[in-house]
Chain A
């Protein structure tokens, strides 16, 4: 697949990773490197810190997440992110929407594979 195809896949992943970050923070607060490491555990997402940090910044500016420095049990203080009330509502909406999209895509891809 050429560069254009790679860009499309990258763009597709970036759309998904926003929901992935919200899902992570829905479980509980986390700091930046923790979010990057957690996403890196899922090869399908293949997202680098160069994508995650700008996204965190954007979500914070949009009021979806909040950030606050906290003392760390080991090492220096870290900046922890958490969902705001608005972010929680956004996540609920997006999760429902994703369920519908995922279900529809599964059907379409399965039908495509059978042909």
Chain B
């Protein structure tokens, strides 16, 4: 079974294919000068985006031209991705009126920053991209770098870059939904803990600690509660929404992993506060929580990838000669 993007790609006429490749090559070329590390990932994301748009529309050559016109000139688009100065356009391919450039993403003092609202596409492209060998990639939101768990898994030899044709596309629905429920379960634990201890919580609560376990900052009860609930419940609901809308499997997996990380940090904060209020100076909730916040999304994404790979192998190896596809 082919996905809609692949179907859209197969329907392209040679002229349309050449136009799309020319456009993408110009974006890639501009990125290789200004943001070489991101070129591959960005161009593949862009290709996927264009083909998805094609799949959702008429899929004609005119439709492709309209989509590329909407994106603007390749150099301007690349500059927007890279936050760099826009090189001169050579006027070929699909030049379009210059779009207003945003400064919501780019680099400052060598550090990448990203201030655009995180999208499922960006989360997925940054967090699980085994095709990209770079482990550290620009953050989904904020300043600095995130971890490309796909590159880590490849580096560790747990997965191969091409294990799946399309990440998580063959993962059975039940597994995807189970992944989506992980952050919901963690967020529910946070809510239950806060509710259970609500009446016992003082007006000010420890929110930051020194390495010796002594609180260094107190927050008002309302602020502390808002922080842990927003940190856990909002991402969990966003992940659940992505599951219920049956978005692309990769998006669903990546959203679940991100929500699990944030909810785990909120849970660690909650438990650390309760442990401190109980008179202990132990810091294990923070350390265990931080470790889990990294390990849990990694395990989730790797597990989904392995399940997807196993499903692909069952499809291809099912026949006696391995030639038949299910």
Residues of A within 8 A of B (CB): 4, 7, 10-11, 14-15, 32-33, 48-51, 53-54, 56-58, 60-63, 67-71, 77, 79
Contact check, B132 vs A54: say whether CB atoms are below 8 A apart. yes
Cα–Cα, bound, A53→B160 (Å): 10
Query: Which of A11, A68, A77, A79 lies in contact with B28, CB distance below 8 A?
Result: A11
Residues of B within 8 A of A11 (CB): 28-29, 32
Q: Measured between C-beta atoms, what is the minimum distance from A12 to chain B in Å?
A: 10
Query: Which of B133, B162, B312, B315 lies in contact with A48, CB distance below 8 A?
Result: B133
Contact check, A51 vs B40: say whether CB atoms are below 8 A apart. yes
Taken residue by residue from 1 to 24, chain B's Cβ proximity to chain A (1 for < 8 Å, 0 otherwise) reads as: 000011001100000010001000
Supposing A11-B29, A62-B17, A70-B322 touch, asked if A53 and B36 sit within 8 A by C-beta, the answer is: no
Cα–Cα, bound, A58→B134 (Å): 18
Residues of B within 8 A of A48 (CB): 133
Q: Measured between C-beta atoms, what is the minimum distance from B229 to chain A in Å?
A: 40
* Sample of 27 A–B contacts (CB below 8 Å): A4-B33, A7-B32, A10-B32, A10-B36, A11-B28, A11-B32, A15-B25, A49-B161, A50-B131, A50-B134, A53-B161, A57-B162, A60-B165, A61-B5, A62-B21, A63-B9, A68-B322, A68-B325, A69-B312, A69-B313, A69-B315, A69-B317, A70-B316, A71-B317, A71-B322, A77-B317, A79-B162
Segment 112-131 of B: residues with Cβ below 8 Å from A: 130-131
- In this complex, what residue of A is CB-closest to B163? A79
Segment 258-312 of B: residues with Cβ below 8 Å from A: 312
Cα–Cα, bound, A58→B40 (Å): 10
Supply 8 further A-B pairs (C-beta < 8 A) apart from A53-B131, A54-B44, A69-B316.
A11-B32, A32-B161, A54-B131, A62-B21, A68-B322, A68-B323, A69-B322, A71-B322
Residues of B within 8 A of A49 (CB): 133, 161
Q: Measured between C-beta atoms, what is the minimum distance from B172 to chain A in Å?
A: 17
Residues of A within 8 A of B165 (CB): 60, 67
Residues of A within 8 A of B325 (CB): 68
Cα–Cα, bound, A53→B315 (Å): 22
B103 at the interface (CB under 8 A from A): no
Residues of B within 8 A of A (CB): 5-6, 9-10, 17, 21, 25, 28-29, 32-33, 36, 40, 44, 47, 51, 130-134, 160-163, 165, 312-313, 315-317, 322-323, 325
Contact check, B10 vs A63: say whether CB atoms are below 8 A apart. yes
Contact check, A77 vs B313: say whether CB atoms are below 8 A apart. yes
- In this complex, what residue of A is CB-closest to B161? A53
Cα–Cα, bound, A32→B32 (Å): 24
Residues of B within 8 A of A4 (CB): 33
| Most chain A CB within a 10 A radius of its CB, from B21, B28, B161, B325 | B161
- In this complex, what residue of B is CB-closest to A53? B161
- In this complex, what residue of A is CB-closest to B32? A7
- In this complex, what residue of A is CB-closest to B134? A50
Query: Which of B5, B28, B162, B312 lies in contact with A56, CB distance below 8 A?
Result: B162
Residues of A within 8 A of B162 (CB): 32, 53, 56-57, 67, 79
Supposing A32-B161, A63-B9, A71-B322 touch, asked if A57 and B131 sit within 8 A by C-beta, the answer is: yes
Q: Measured between C-beta atoms, what is the minimum distance from B76 to chain A in Å?
A: 19
Cα–Cα, bound, A69→B28 (Å): 30
Supposing A4-B33, A67-B162 touch, asked if A61 and B47 sit within 8 A by C-beta, the answer is: yes
Residues of A within 8 A of B163 (CB): 79
Contact check, B133 vs A61: say whether CB atoms are below 8 A apart. no
Q: Measured between C-beta atoms, what is the minimum distance from A46 to chain B in Å?
A: 15
Q: Measured between C-beta atoms, what is the minimum distance from B204 to chain A in Å?
A: 50
Contact check, A68 vs B161: say whether CB atoms are below 8 A apart. no
Contact check, B44 vs A58: say whether CB atoms are below 8 A apart. yes
Residues of A within 8 A of B21 (CB): 62
Contact check, B29 vs A50: say whether CB atoms are below 8 A apart. no
Residues of B within 8 A of A33 (CB): 160
Cα–Cα, bound, A58→B9 (Å): 10
Residues of B within 8 A of A61 (CB): 5-6, 9, 47, 51
Cα–Cα, bound, A26→B9 (Å): 22
